[in-house]
Every structure is written in structure tokens, then in C-alpha cells.
């Protein structure tokens, strides 16, 4: 073999060896970067306690709001930011304290309560450390999934003032489109129509001569639900002269039961402040009611329920006028499949 050919072969071997070494170095570098990122990610964890084993990726917050404490495991102090698509920032980072000896940052959150309804809302708690690649996203949620919600926004009779009893329109005279919302009522004995009145964004139950009831539409889709929550706003009538009606409202559940095992509850309602200059909006102060509902033991897989609202405890009782709004049913818990 000529010397020239030997040099060519040696040169090719050298190039091949350098290529292999180069690829090895690149592979090792990528592996190190990947390992470094994994290690750094592993150093940051968010927990509900001072134990790393309680690390979370999401947190369900109570509808009552209040303070919640989280613990971030990291090798240095962290930055915590809450982001949400809601109109208001309903979670605030009230305090953040890094405890160097434990390698923990204690974060205290101030959570706003759900006031108007219990419909679920969510956001992201973005936790980042000072090291490269260290970070965690914790999904925060509050409230429940809605099964049924009615605010009677499709009723537009009168100016909304509860003292104005003339402008209300009886259910029989509602438009065909309004009747298709499937709210129904019972005609009392001796009467020709039910005394349910459409007001401006809410309904009036009963009159000065007779009471009434109001049935919600049949609410479907609850087959997998084990615990539900019924909420509504209700307030009792009082005249501009300060003469107050009776203030009882009976709530009956069809297809489920209350927590105490019964299917009926009688509640006492507040009377609005008839002298308030902001009566149209202030009439609903202290009017919120909420009750947990369970499936009945003899029919745990029922797929529907219905709610009946009854003035006083008997449809024949007069002068127990009630104003009703914002009826909703939420899912609190579902049956878990047995493994």
C-alpha cells in the first residue's frame, strides 16, 4: 500500500473518531441539561403541609373563602403570582416567608368568598424559584359545577320595586316564550288561575287573598351526583306603610332529600327594608338560602329532581307573599366507581 493511501485512511479514521466524540459530547450535554432541568424541577414542590409528600398540582378552595396556607419546597425564596380570567382577582398572596433552615417558603393566601352564587371559578398560582427551570403551576378552583340556574332575567314587568304590586303579570298571561321555561304552579281550590306573578327579573308568589306554589322545571343529568346544593334568594313582602305579610316558605324536593333525610323544609324569611332609598337592589340583602341535598337511599341512581316552593305551609293561606330569585342547583360530589 502506498504512503499516500495510508495517510488518506488515517485521515478518514481521524474524522470518524472526531465525529463520534462530537456526537457523544452533544449527547452527554443534552443529557446533563435534561438531568439538570429535572433535578431543578424536583427541588421545587408545593404542598398543603410541611411534608413534601403532600405535594399538590391543584387545590379546591372552600366557597366561604378565608386564609389558606401553602408550603413551597425550594433551595431559595420563590415568587408567587395568581392569575385568573375572572373580572376580579379573588385570590391574593397575603404573606410570603422563606425559612432557610427548612428550605421552605410559607405562603398565605387570602381567598374571597363566593357571594352571589356558587358557580365554579378557577385560576393558576404560578410559583417560580430563582434557579433555571424551577417552577410550578397550581390550579386553584372554588365553587361547584352548575346543574341548573335560573335568574328570571327573561321576566321584564314593572320597575322591580316590590312595593309596586300593580305591574306584576300573572303566569297565565306570560308570553309563549316565557312559558317555555317550564315553571309551573298549582291552581288553588276555588280559583281560576295560579297566583304567580312575573316581576322585573324575579317572581312573586301569592297574593293578599290566596297563596300559591311554584315548581321548577325537571332538572336532569344528576345520575352520578351523590351530593347537590340547592340555593335561592327569597324575601317576604311588607307594605310601604310597614304592614308585613307572613314570612314562611316551604321548600319540597322531589327525587332527592335534604341532609336530615326529609324531603321538606319550612324556612323563615326576612322582610326587606321598605324605607330604603335603594330598595330595588337592597331588597335582596339577607335573602340567600342554601341546602345540601342527597340522593334517596331507595333510589341512589335517580337522574332527575324537581323543587317546589310553597307560600307558608298551605296554598290556602293568604297574605304570605314571597319574592323569589336566583334558583340554582350545583353538584358538590359524585359517586366514585368501585375499583
Alpha carbon distance 129, 43 (integer Å): 9
- Average pLDDT of the segment spanning 295-314: 93
Domain extent, residue 55, equals: 45-143
Structural domain contains residue 316 = yes
Residues 189, 272, single domain; the answer is yes
Burial of 78 (0-12, 13-18, 19+ CB in 10 A): buried
pLDDT tens string 180-208: 999 999 999 999 999 999 999 999 999 99
110: CATH: 2.60.40.10
Q: What is the DSSP letter of 284?
A: T
Q: What is the pLDDT of residue 24?
A: 37
Residue 37 lies in a domain: no
Residue 135 banded pLDDT, cuts 50, 70, 90: confident
End position of a domain, from candidates 113, 143, 173: 143
pLDDT for residue 81 is more than 80: yes
Can you name the residues that pair with 225 across neighbouring β-strands?
A: 334
Domain count, the chain: 2
Per-residue pLDDT for 116 more than 90?
no
51 lies in the same domain as 173: no
Query: Which CATH number covers residue 248?
Result: 2.60.120.260
Shared-domain flag, residues 230 and 98: no
Same domain (yes/no): 178, 303: yes
Q: What is the model's pLDDT at position 325? A: 98
In a shared domain, residues 267 and 218:
yes
pLDDT of res. 157: 97
> Is 110 in the same domain as 121?
yes
CA separation for the pair 306, 150 (Å, rounded): 13
Same domain, 73 and 175: no
Residue finishing a domain among 143, 173, 204: 143
pLDDT at position 41 over 50: no
Residues 62, 211 within the same domain:
no
Based on the fold, state whether residues 95 and 126 are members of the same structural domain: yes
Is residue 228 located within the same domain as residue 88?
no
Q: Is 339 helix (H, G, I), strand (E, B) or coil?
A: coil
Query: In whole angstroms, what separates CA 322 from the centre of its chain?
Result: 27
Chain mean pLDDT for the chain:
87
166, 252: one domain: yes
**Structure confidence at residue 8 as a pLDDT band (50, 70, 90):** very low
Total-model pTM: 0.81
pLDDT digits (tens, 9 = 90+) for 315-334: 999 999 999 999 999 999 99
First to last CA, the chain: 75
pLDDT above 60 (res 246): yes
- Of 126, 143, 160, which one is at a domain's C-terminal end? 143
Residue 51 lies in a domain: yes
Q: Is residue 307 part of a domain?
A: yes
**Domain assignment of residue 127, yes or no:** yes
Within this chain, do residues 132 and 162 fall inside the same structural domain, yes or no? no
| Residue 26 included in any domain | no
Answer yes or no: is pLDDT of 245 > 80: yes
What is the reported pLDDT for 174?
98
Amino acid at each position: 500500500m502506498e504512503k499516500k493511501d495510508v495517510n488518506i485512511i488515517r485521515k478518514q479514521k481521524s474524522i470518524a473518531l472526531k465525529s463520534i466524540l462530537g456526537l457523544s459530547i452533544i449527547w452527554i450535554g443534552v443529557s446533563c441539561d435534561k438531568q439538570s432541568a429535572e433535578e431543578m424541577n424536583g427541588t421545587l414542590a408545593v404542598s398543603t403541609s410541611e411534608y413534601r409528600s403532600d405535594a399538590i398540582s391543584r387545590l379546591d378552595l372552600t366557597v366561604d373563602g378565608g386564609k389558606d396556607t401553602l408550603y413551597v419546597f425550594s433551595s431559595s425564596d420563590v415568587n408567587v403570582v395568581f392569575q385568573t380570567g375572572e373580572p376580579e382577582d379573588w385570590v391574593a398572596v397575603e404573606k410570603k416567608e422563606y425559612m432557610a433552615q427548612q428550605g421552605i417558603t410559607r405562603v398565605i393566601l387570602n381567598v374571597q368568598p363566593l357571594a352571589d352564587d356558587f358557580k365554579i371559578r378557577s385560576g393558576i398560582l404560578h410559583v417560580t424559584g430563582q434557579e433555571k427551570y424551577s417552577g410550578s403551576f397550581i390550579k386553584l378552583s372554588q365553587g361547584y359545577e352548575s346543574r341548573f340556574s335560573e335568574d328570571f332575567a327573561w321576566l321584564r314587568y314593572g320597575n322591580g320595586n316590590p312595593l309596586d304590586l300593580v305591574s306584576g303579570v300573572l303566569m297565565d298571561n306570560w308570553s309563549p316564550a316565557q312559558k317555555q321555561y317550564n315553571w309551573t304552579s298549582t291552581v288553588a281550590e276555588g280559583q281560576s288561575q295560579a297566583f304567580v306573578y312575573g316581576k322585573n327579573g324575579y317572581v312573586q308568589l301569592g297574593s293578599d287573598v290566596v297563596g300559591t306554589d311554584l315548581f321548577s322545571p325537571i332538572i336532569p343529568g344528576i345520575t352520578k351526583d351523590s351530593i347537590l346544593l340547592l340555593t335561592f334568594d327569597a324575601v317576604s313582602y311588607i307594605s310601604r306603610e310597614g304592614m308585613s305579610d307572613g314570612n314562611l316558605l316551604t321548600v319540597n324536593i322531589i327525587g332527592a332529600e335534604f341532609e336530615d333525610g326529609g324531603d321538606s323544609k319550612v324556612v323563615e324569611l326576612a322582610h326587606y327594608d321598605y324605607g330604603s332609598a335603594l330598595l330595588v337592589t337592597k331588597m335582596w340583602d339577607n335573602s340567600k338560602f342554601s341546602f345540601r341535598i342527597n340522593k334517596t337511599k331507595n333510589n341512589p341512581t335517580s337522574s332527575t329532581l324537581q323543587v317546589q316552593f310553597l307560600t307558608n305551609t298551605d296554598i290556602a293561606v293568604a297574605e304570605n307573599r314571597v319574592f323569589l330569585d336566583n334558583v340554582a342547583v350545583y353538584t358538590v360530589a359524585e359517586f366514585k366507581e368501585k375499583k
